[in-house]
Amino acid sequence: LTVVFAGDGAAAGSHGYTNSGYSVYEEENDRLTESLRTKVSAIKSLSIEIGTEVKNQNKMLSEMENDFDSTGGLLGATMGRLRTLSRGSQTKLLCYMMLFSLFVFFVIYWIIKLR
């Protein structure tokens, strides 16, 4: 078996790739490709998790919007009742307040007198 060498000392059958560093570049490319594949996979899983989180947050926001709408309706009804109450006779309201104040005054007076 005879091996014929090219002019730069590489075997003729390998077309001079071994000494030119082609296999080193190919190994480096394979390593970088695998590194890139790992990073792409990590980014893909991260984007899927972000998508899931966004869906959950949108669902929570929708529920909050419904809760705020129902609370707004309840508050609106309460304000309507207050407006109706304030439109009533001011004299009647003042009379009730005076009677309540007198009642509290007599209760306090009675408690102090019994001691």
pLDDT at 16 over 50: no
| Torsion of Cα atoms, 98 then 101 then 103 then 104, to 10° | 180
Q: How far apart are the first and last CA of the chain?
A: 129
pLDDT at 15 over 70: no
Question: Residue 89's pLDDT is what?
Answer: 67
Domain for residue 2, yes or no? no
The pTM (predicted TM-score) of the whole model is: 0.45
How many separate domains does the chain show? 1
103, with CB counted inside 10 A (0-12, 13-18, 19+), is exposed
Q: What is the domain extent for residue 46?
A: 27-88
Domain for residue 97, yes or no? no
Domain for residue 5, yes or no? no
> What confidence tier does 107 reach under pLDDT thresholds 50, 70, 90?
very high
Averaged over 52-67, what is the pLDDT?
Answer: 93
Residue 59 has a CB neighbour count (10 Å cut-off) of 10
Domain for residue 107, yes or no? no
